[in-house]
Structure 1
Amino acid sequence: MMRRKLMLTVLLGITGICSYGQGEYDVSKIPAGLTENAAIVIRNQEMVYEVKGLGSARQDYKTAVTILNKKGEGASNMYEYYDKFSNVYNLKATLYDEKGIKIKEYRSSDFKDRSAVSDGTLYSDSRIKFMEFLYASFPYTVEYSYSVDYNGILNYPSWNPASSWAMAVEKSSYTFKVPKSFSFKHLSSKGLKTDSTEVKDMKQYRWSCAAVPALVYEPMSAGLKGVNPWVMVAPNQFEYDNTKANIEDWTKLGSWLYQLSSGSQVLPEAAKLKIQLLIKDAKSPKEKIKILYRHLQENTRYVGVQLGIGGYTPIVAEKVSTVNYGDCKGLSNYMKAMLQEAGIKSNLVVIGSGMPSLNRKYASMNQANHMILCVPLEKDTTWLECTSSYDPTGFIGNDNSGRTVLLVTEQGGKLVETPLLKPSGNYLKRNTRVELNEEGNAAIQIDAQYANAQYEDNIGLMLIEPVNQRKNIMNSLGIPNMEITSVKYTQPDKDLPLLNENISLKSSQLLTGGGGKLFLTLNLLNRQENTLTPIENRKTPFAVSYGYLDEDEVIYTIPKGFKVEFIPKDIVIESEFGKYTTKVVAKDNTLIYTRTKSIINKQYPAEKYNEYVAFHKKLYQADKQKSILAKIE
């Protein structure tokens, strides 16, 4: 619901004055088609944003939200952030019952005000005005409004009225007013009409929608923007904290960011001497990068700094060297300064970590949330995530992989791509040996290696306490009646994203059967879960978060007095979503089970989802393969 949100906290004792008659927000007035699948209905929403100057604007916002049931309760939490560049006022709220009869009114003095500093942030001037309705009788309606004056602008507000699942919209509009002499840019959802008029020296744009039905949650969804209305608006020029910028394109936006960081890479003499001492025996630029990156990780920590333009300007390297902390900008800039002292050039990089790639044709400040460092060398390029204390040199994680990002250079911004983590590189290679006896007891040894994205998913196991390691293993492996003997996690090379796992354990319930026969489920550790169900008329595209390759080999030692009576046939399942194979071989007194599973990461259209579900079901069935052992007569 746009970025306007107001978190309203007030336990409502029903002490308001009730009047008789049907009110404007009577729930029975909502068209039946909008209550279907809905927990929330936006009855009316109006946002008017008027640009008055490069750094000044006013916004007036009003909405009425009907909460149909407990699932929609969070939508009555309303809040508005502000800082020294904005002022929130004229806050009003009214609570209505199911018939639309007014229960209680609230004024500005009823709203609470507190700091909005998040965990890990040392400095921030962000605050929040909020109130929270906790009304026990559903359905009910909350109407609220407020105004905001801005005296510094980086972005213009977006419009996204149907922003979540189970949310319907009766009507919503966004009116954007701007002086004729100002230029701006906007993007909108497919087919959305733009109404524009001119009044004196102002130009007015209006977008609206009505009767938007609620959507049922769809697993693996790539988002609602493909089906619901939305608008993004951004300035081409702005003024913020005594700084003016032109961001008509990414080149100019990058030039502004370069100016903000220019001259901030000066280090104190003691730090320079330390750097020279650290790299004195290094034989290549690559080795120098590794040494200095390790020094950064071992001697600094992440702390957020979000004060005015300081939210976009790195802390100077000299200060980071002294206090040993900084945010993503400060730490990246500090690493840049150290490399500069070592004679190695690098560039700050603006990226949307975990967000979509930057839109190449639409430059704006709200598409990124993070900064990393790029070190271009003669034969290759090294990317550095400077906020991590354990990532190997050059590993920037799955959330930063394969993204279009902005390289901040002396010549301006340059759009480039970060390295893509391919499925074959995100691997799990695991060898498991299982010693079985005739009672069904087993001694199990697991030796595995995780790489890249799978390393990132599991490195936390090496960093937590042993008791928590064991709890995690007990919950994740799913081996019946399991007793862990030993656990060990190691990172064999700190410069490579590889994690080794070694687990010894015992189990007493791996085999089932009777009448002289034992049944053994061959895939011991990595079975496909059957959690997906088909969706008829799915609305949104879906995406696989990352591609990967799992390679498992399980070697079973057959119990004494038993022989292999049956082994399943080889299986090959292949589709556009990936490939799966299994093979079982009986050799001497062992059964060798091998399984590979390769999943491709990409976004797929909605109509492909049921095919993906069918692919998963085939894998689920294949992972239930059993072998039969028979008693030797």
Structure 2
Amino acid sequence: MKYYLSLVLTIVSINTALAQIDYDVAKIPENLKKDAVVVIRNEESFFDVKGLGEAKMDYKVAITILNKAGEEYGEMAEVYDKFSSIYNIRATLYDAAGKKVKDYKSSDIKDQSLISDFSIFEDNRLKLLKFVSITYPYTIEYSYSQDYKGLLSFPSWHDIKGFGVSVEKSAHTIQKAKNYKMRYITSSNLQTDSVINGEKVQYKWKSANVAAVAEEPLSTGIDNISAWVKASPNQFEYDGSTGNFDNWKNFGSWLFTLNQGGNKLPEATKLMVQNLIKDAKTPKEKIRILYNHLQQNTRYVSVQLGIGGFRPILAEKVAQVNYGDCKALSNYMKALLNEAGIASNLIVIGNDMPSLNPNYSSMGQANHMILCVPLAKDTTFLECTSQYKPMGFIGYSNSDRNVLMVTEDGGKIVHTPAYNAKENYQIRRTKITLAEDGTASSEIKSTYGNAQFEENFSMTLMEPVDLRKKIIEDSPIPVAELISYKYAQPDKTLPVLTEEINFKTNPLLTKGGDKLFLVVNQVNRRESVPLKVEGRKTYFAVPFSYNDDDEINYILPKGYNVEFIPKDIVINSEFGSYTAKFSIKDNMIVYSRIQTMNNKKYPPEKYGEYVDFYKKIYQADKQKAVLAKTL
């Protein structure tokens, strides 16, 4: 009787506790409202590993959306596939006072396919519920359970979900059998509480009263300020495949096994390869011929179907249909090279993601595949999804990072090439012929290399009408009439783009009495300074290192000479360097400017120095020359 009475009292106390949850926005501490667009009132995730390929997640969250800027958080959007199911969904909307407005029904929740814009084969689905409130603030609460049949990875946890998000309470728990092997890494100073309960072990992480951080310029992310956990199984089972993720070598072995027998080619394709390379003199020439063939005859599509999200489509199939995802096209290129007698290795890489952690192997650190061709004297990396990138150029979002090379002996961490500032160049030569009324004729010739080639290459693919519009809108010099323009890639084997633009300008000169004033830098001028951020929290970096080399020759208006030109300027810092030179030659102003920037990752306390560096460049770019009438 005592047992049953105790059980009843326990149930009553639990129900009472649930009923007492108060989502009154007025009760949110003021420190959590500062800089916040949403507040995580309470979040609980419990991930129970039931076996090698089986797990269950119970998740519950309550989020207060303070204003329209936080509207993106006003929805439930949970992904599942044929190896998982989401059920037992409950959702409620509350007003600012914490009063219940609506309980949502199953019929309110959309269940839809999650086919990406770039994907034609994908079995991911989405449970979607958009909460609707006509006033702010409001609170949403939802919960669900998710069963997994196949475990390649565990859900990760971040207490802070993004800029402008504060946290009242958030907790994450992983439960497993004592003999089940797994690994995890956490943010620094995050405490891990572990409890043994019979044959089970629970690991728990929690966070509370975390203030929001306003979005910060050039931020490299919030990992250095948020609490986070990433966990991974050692042995796993997924879609009929088993493997071990306890280190990168074993990870690579699993990927190599998945692909065994997948790079056979049809006889017709083999004959084609031999015909293509019959006159090639070197391995490099063979690679170039076959890479060009790949670019001209295949196209990229995404495939995310079970183990097919990790196993490449057979090379034989790609040869027939002429399309594939990054894995399929990389594997097909590998098969073509193999037929040519050239060995190569698949590379697993995080495109636009951090380097792979060499000490922690797991799924989720990579999202892309390329190909590596190690030759006797050098190594060539191939981006097989692009129809335009020259051989060996993999783009700055793939460069300078740890990646996994898949070999028959397992996985091996290698590093992709880094493109330095001098390689990511812009060289621009401009001739501006000034008229006395301040207008001018401008001729601009630019050359872009590597990362700057990549940034500007889309100009070559635009329709003429759209291209003209973009040139006029983006021109640093006000365009009165666009006369001609041309974009070209002179050598298809190099990541180099040329640009030629001729136009007439609106007035560039301002009058003061009988003198004319000219801002000497008209082409590559800094128009603003990065916003200063007091007490910055996050690390920062420019997207890539670069070197801009500009020269402008000004032909003076008839009847004028140069009365004054600024002195040369040199600015140096750990972030980069800047030089500006001013001279007069044959009654012509010659202005040259070189700015070099480093893309190192800098700690938040350096940001003030970075802003000061840009202030100096901003002032240097505003220097004026004075023209006077000749007697």
TM-score (norm: length of structure 1): 0.95
Work out which of the residue numbers 510, 513, 516 in structure 2 matches 1:515.
513
Identify the residue that residue 606 of structure 2 maps to in structure 1.
608
Are 1:125 and 1:306, in contact at CA under 8 Å, matched by a contact in 2?
Answer: yes
Distance 1:419 1:121 in 2: 29
Distance 1:30 1:448 in 2: 55
Amino acid at match of 1:396: I
Deviations 1:324-347 (A, max 9, x none): 000000000000000000110000
Are 1:23 and 1:101, in contact at CA under 8 Å, matched by a contact in 2?
Answer: no
Structure 1 residue 22, shift from structure 2 partner: 9.0
Work out which of the residue numbers 217, 220, 228 in structure 1 matches 2:218.
220
Work out which of the residue numbers 524, 534, 537 in structure 1 matches 2:535.
537
Structure 1 residue 100, shift from structure 2 partner: 1.1
Identify the residue that residue 16 of structure 1 maps to in structure 2.
none
Are 2:529 and 2:615, in contact at CA under 8 Å, matched by a contact in 1?
Answer: no
Identify the residue that residue 166 of structure 2 maps to in structure 1.
168
Are 2:281 and 1:278 aligned? no
Structure 1 residue 481, shift from structure 2 partner: 4.3
Deviates more, 1:307-316 or 1:213-222: 213-222
Are 2:492 and 1:494 aligned? yes
Amino acid at match of 2:64: T
Deviations 1:556-585 (A, max 9, x none): 111211111111000000000100001111
Identify the residue that residue 458 of structure 1 maps to in structure 2.
456
Work out which of the residue numbers 149, 168, 183 in structure 2 matches 1:151.
149
Are 2:125 and 1:127 aligned? yes
Are 2:39 and 1:41 aligned? yes
Distance 1:227 1:82 in 2: 29
Identical positions, percent: 55
Equivalent residues in 2 for 1:8-407 (5 A)? Answer: 24-407=22-405
Structure 1 residue 470, shift from structure 2 partner: 1.4
Structure 1 residue 452, shift from structure 2 partner: 0.2
Amino acid at match of 1:441: T
Identify the residue that residue 12 of structure 1 maps to in structure 2.
none
Amino acid at match of 2:399: S
Identify the residue that residue 625 of structure 2 maps to in structure 1.
627
Identify the residue that residue 15 of structure 1 maps to in structure 2.
none
Distance 1:456 1:490 in 2: 13
Amino acid at match of 1:61: Y
Are 2:472 and 2:479, in contact at CA under 8 Å, matched by a contact in 1?
Answer: no
Query: What SS is found at the alignment partner of 1:398?
Result: coil
Are 2:431 and 2:554, in contact at CA under 8 Å, matched by a contact in 1?
Answer: yes
Distance 2:55 2:341 in 1: 46
Deviates more, 1:476-485 or 1:573-582: 476-485
Work out which of the residue numbers 522, 525, 532 in structure 2 matches 1:524.
522
Identify the residue that residue 11 of structure 1 maps to in structure 2.
none
Structure 2 unaligned blocks of 5 or more? 1-18
Identify the residue that residue 4 of structure 1 maps to in structure 2.
none
Identify the residue that residue 15 of structure 2 maps to in structure 1.
none
Are 1:22 and 1:99, in contact at CA under 8 Å, matched by a contact in 2?
Answer: no
Are 1:23 and 1:99, in contact at CA under 8 Å, matched by a contact in 2?
Answer: no
Amino acid at match of 2:220: A
Are 2:217 and 2:531, in contact at CA under 8 Å, matched by a contact in 1?
Answer: no
Query: What SS is found at the alignment partner of 2:257?
Result: helix
Aligned length: 613
Deviations 1:424-468 (A, max 9, x none): 110000111112222323121111100000000001111111222
Deviates more, 1:136-145 or 1:23-32: 23-32
Distance 1:386 1:609 in 2: 38
Distance 1:234 1:551 in 2: 47
Distance 2:369 2:342 in 1: 19
Query: What SS is found at the alignment partner of 1:415?
Result: strand
Are 1:90 and 1:108, in contact at CA under 8 Å, matched by a contact in 2?
Answer: no
Amino acid at match of 2:332: Y
Query: What SS is found at the alignment partner of 1:459?
Result: helix
Deviates more, 1:185-194 or 1:326-335: 185-194
Identify the residue that residue 585 of structure 1 maps to in structure 2.
583
Distance 1:439 1:519 in 2: 12
Distance 2:321 2:612 in 1: 55
Distance 2:285 2:476 in 1: 43
Deviations 1:153-185 (A, max 9, x none): 110011112111111111111110011111111
RMSD: 1.2
Deviations 1:120-169 (A, max 9, x none): 21211111111101211111111110000011111001111211111111
Distance 1:568 1:515 in 2: 20
Deviates more, 1:126-135 or 1:325-334: 126-135
Query: What SS is found at the alignment partner of 2:397?
Result: helix
Are 2:86 and 2:146, in contact at CA under 8 Å, matched by a contact in 1?
Answer: yes
TM-score (norm: length of structure 2): 0.96
Distance 1:307 1:22 in 2: 44
Are 1:461 and 1:469, in contact at CA under 8 Å, matched by a contact in 2?
Answer: yes
Identify the residue that residue 435 of structure 1 maps to in structure 2.
433
Structure 1 residue 23, shift from structure 2 partner: 6.3
Distance 1:558 1:210 in 2: 66
Are 2:39 and 2:166, in contact at CA under 8 Å, matched by a contact in 1?
Answer: yes
Structure 1 unaligned blocks of 5 or more? 1-20
Are 2:36 and 2:66, in contact at CA under 8 Å, matched by a contact in 1?
Answer: yes
Are 1:22 and 1:101, in contact at CA under 8 Å, matched by a contact in 2?
Answer: no
Query: What SS is found at the alignment partner of 1:580?
Result: strand
Distance 2:242 2:438 in 1: 74
Identify the residue that residue 7 of structure 2 maps to in structure 1.
none
Distance 2:237 2:420 in 1: 42
Deviates more, 1:233-242 or 1:67-76: 67-76
Are 1:583 and 1:595, in contact at CA under 8 Å, matched by a contact in 2?
Answer: yes
Are 1:89 and 1:108, in contact at CA under 8 Å, matched by a contact in 2?
Answer: no
Distance 1:183 1:276 in 2: 49
Distance 2:502 2:566 in 1: 28
Distance 2:609 2:545 in 1: 18
Amino acid at match of 2:206: S
Query: What SS is found at the alignment partner of 2:157?
Result: coil
Identify the residue that residue 419 of structure 1 maps to in structure 2.
417
Are 1:48 and 1:59, in contact at CA under 8 Å, matched by a contact in 2?
Answer: yes
Distance 2:317 2:206 in 1: 49
Distance 1:294 1:72 in 2: 47
Amino acid at match of 2:102: K
Distance 1:23 1:273 in 2: 72
Structure 1 residue 111, shift from structure 2 partner: 1.1
